Copies of this chain bind each other. A is one copy, B any other.
Amino acid sequence: MSVRDAVLFANEAFYRAFADRDLKAMDAVWSTRFDVACLHPGWQPLFGRAVVMESWSNILGNPQSPKIRPREPHVQLLGDTAIVVCYEEIDGSFLLASNVYVHEGQIWKMVLHQGGATAGAPAPEEAPERPRRVN
């Protein structure tokens, strides 16, 4: 797996834990070795693992938490750190996020998430090709 693919895998794991309301998986996403910060859209900033995980416990414990998925991830590789900027699709609307990961052991762990409003949107997804009818 390339470094870029490994970073994208970590980013997918973050959004899968979010969409699945899986607090244990969310806990595994975040770094245990470095200071972490989380800037939920519109909130005050949260610093430190305990405070950040408490916020996720509240968000993921809410059955109304959004079904979110990442769109058009853009990766910046910076040695042992990597940034993924992506759209977040929520019920057909879009936010924009920066996610920063550090190489920790064999995998990439999150140290920063910031989500916020955007006037942009990803390109429409291509519809799956229809099977062509022969004759």
Contact = CB atoms under 8 A, between A and B. Distances in A.
Interface of A: 34-37, 39, 41-45, 47, 74, 76-81, 83, 85, 96, 98, 100, 102, 111-112, 114-121
How many protomers of this protein does the assembly include? 2
A111 B98 CA distance: 12
Given A37-B85, A96-B39, A45 B120 contact: yes
Interface of A is mostly: strand
A119 to B, nearest CB: 5
9 contacts: A37-B85, A39-B96, A42-B117, A42-B119, A43-B119, A78-B102, A80-B81, A81-B100, A85-B112
A47 B44 CA distance: 26
A52 to B, nearest CB: 12
Nearest to A35: B76
Which interface residue of A37, A98, A120, A121 has the most chain B CB atoms within 10 A? A98
B116 A116 contact: yes
Nearest to A45: B85
Given A37-B76, A42-B117, A117-B42, A98 B112 contact: yes
A114 B111 contact: no
Given A41-B116, A116-B116, A79 B80 contact: yes
